[in-house]
Amino acid sequence: MKAKAPLTGIKVLDFTRVYSGPYCTMMLADLGAEVVKVERKGIGDDTHHFAPVKDGESAYFTYLNRNKKSIGLNLKSEEGVKIVKEMAGWADIVVENFSPGVVDKLGIGYKDLKEVNPRIIYGSISGFGQTGPYRKKPAYDVVCQAMGGFMNLTGEKDGKPYKLGPSIVDASAGIHMAYALMVALYYRERNGVGQFIDIGMMDTAFSTLENFVVTKTLTGVAPSRNGNANLGSAPFNSYRTKDGYVTIAVANNSLFQKLTGAMGREDLLENPLYKENYQRKANEDQLNLEVEKWTIERTTHEICEILDKAGVPVGPILTIDDLIADPHLKEREMLVDIDHPILGSITYPGNPIKMSESSAVAFERAPLLGEHQEYVLKDILKKSNSEIQLLKEQNVV
């Protein structure tokens, strides 16, 4: 019997927009935190206009803002800033991903809200962080995939550099921040103080370059992109099949024995070029040709069946269509349908964190812009009807 969502009772004041910040607060909201998203009055998050859009409503927005509440606020008005400060008294956590300096200019930076609530935990995500020479540079994910090292390492050796299709540095910065916020919350439980957390997207990309950085600093030679080859092992790559591509990952002698057995090519085991992993890696061009001679004669499905049975790591390159029909993702509750008054029923990726004693919330659709104005002003901030009326007249809410 699962108790409840583990972050029930945690209150989040959410100024985030687009992807990195909203992925962070989605992780919090999925696990039960009460997240109030403060949007620009009448305009809202940029992603309200991001594809795919239907009848003026964006599925990009509804994906990343499920389980959250929304209020529209004029942050450039004195009264708007006052409301933010009142909400800071209510909140445990604040998250924002404006360009560095913007929240301070608005009067809702860490220093401002800490005065109201010394226990507040305040997380800022930006392209390059709050310090350092690049801090003022505007950034989207592709710029950070380029400047964080990812693009130079992706694609063919003598070809063009590629970004990963989805904006992975946004998502990665978001989940690094979610981790940091929980660390700060735990720290506050024990030490009584809140704090400011600064995460830069370039930093998080650089933090996840696997062995590329240490390879340079140990050997003096910087590795660059090399197709789908692995930096240390072979045969470990993608291979052409009768109907597409397949990935095969052989990182040690035992797996190489299994692979050659499945291919009916035990002779490769005897070849002195392929005895040990470092030799297979040194002679991988030839070896990859031997593997591809076998894969090209078979469909991806046939190869996966054969190698799955042999215990060799293998996988097809799944399309979005494949994934939405995937039986494994279904059983893992990673395909969640949510009804929406404008968009109808849409399938979203579920939450990847599966816990035994607690669980994600039953997903609620994303809010319409300003949908929870009444709730925030009345229930959280205890404002009277006449006060609310005045705020509306003053164009604050």
Query: Strand 335-338 relative to strand 346-349: parallel, antiparallel, unpaired?
Result: antiparallel
**Residue 331, φ and ψ in degrees, nearest 5:** -65, -30
Residue from 77, 195, 271, 283 binding its own copies (CB under 8 A): 195
Smallest separation, CB 3 to its own copies (Å) = 7
Residue window 262-291: x/- pattern of binding to its own copies, with contact defined by CB under 8 A? ---------------xx--x----------
Q: Are 125 and 174 in contact (CB under 8 A)?
A: yes
Smallest separation, CB 297 to its own copies (Å) = 19
Active site residue 170: yes
Residue from 282, 358, 363, 371 binding its own copies (CB under 8 A): 358
Catalytic residue among 45, 92, 141, 170: 170
> With binding defined as CB under 8 A, does residue 50 bind its own copies?
yes
Smallest separation, CB 379 to its own copies (Å) = 23
Q: What distance in Å separates the CA atoms of residue 310 and residue 258, rounded to the nearest whole number?
A: 6
Residues between 220 and 239 with contacts to its own copies, criterion CB under 8 A: 222-228, 230-232, 236-238
Residues between 102 and 131 with contacts to its own copies, criterion CB under 8 A: 110, 127-131
- In one-letter notation, the amino acid at residue 227 is G
Q: Where are the alpha helices (DSSP H) in 66-165?
A: 78-90, 102-106, 110-116, 141-147
Closer of 130 and 257 to its own copies (Cβ): 130
Closer of 89 and 166 to its own copies (Cβ): 166
Helix (H) or strand (E) holding 287: helix 284-295
Radius of gyration of the chain (CA): 25
Q: What distance in Å separates the CA atoms of residue 348 and residue 116, rounded to the nearest whole number?
A: 38
Residues between 239 and 258 with contacts to its own copies, criterion CB under 8 A: 245-247, 249, 251-252
In the chain, how long is the greatest CA-to-CA distance?
A: 87
> With binding defined as CB under 8 A, does residue 199 bind its own copies?
yes
Closer of 133 and 386 to its own copies (Cβ): 133
Six-digit token string for 36 = 């109030």
Residue from 104, 301, 315, 375 binding its own copies (CB under 8 A): 315
* Backbone angle region of 198, left / alpha / beta, with phi > 0 → left and psi within -120 to 50 → alpha: beta
Closer of 82 and 240 to its own copies (Cβ): 240
Smallest separation, CB 278 to its own copies (Å) = 8
Residue from 11, 106, 162, 298 binding its own copies (CB under 8 A): 162
DSSP 14-56: E---TTHHHHHHHHHHHTT-EEEEEEETTT--GGGGSSSEETT
Residue from 11, 40, 112, 155 binding its own copies (CB under 8 A): 155
Residue from 263, 291, 303, 314 binding its own copies (CB under 8 A): 314
Among 36-44, 287-295, 313-321, 368-376, the segment contacting its own copies (CB under 8 A): 313-321
> With binding defined as CB under 8 A, does residue 356 bind its own copies?
yes
Please state the length of the chain.
397
Q: What distance in Å separates the CA atoms of residue 40 and residue 75, rounded to the nearest whole number?
A: 7
Closer of 75 and 120 to its own copies (Cβ): 120
Closer of 51 and 362 to its own copies (Cβ): 51
Q: What is the 3-state secondary structure (H, E, C) of 139-207?
A: CCHHHHHHHCCCHHHCCCCCCCCCCCCCCHHHHHHHHHHHHHHHHHHHHHHHHCCCEEEEEEHHHHHHH
Smallest separation, CB 199 to its own copies (Å) = 6
> With binding defined as CB under 8 A, does residue 375 bind its own copies?
no
Catalytic residues, which ones? 170
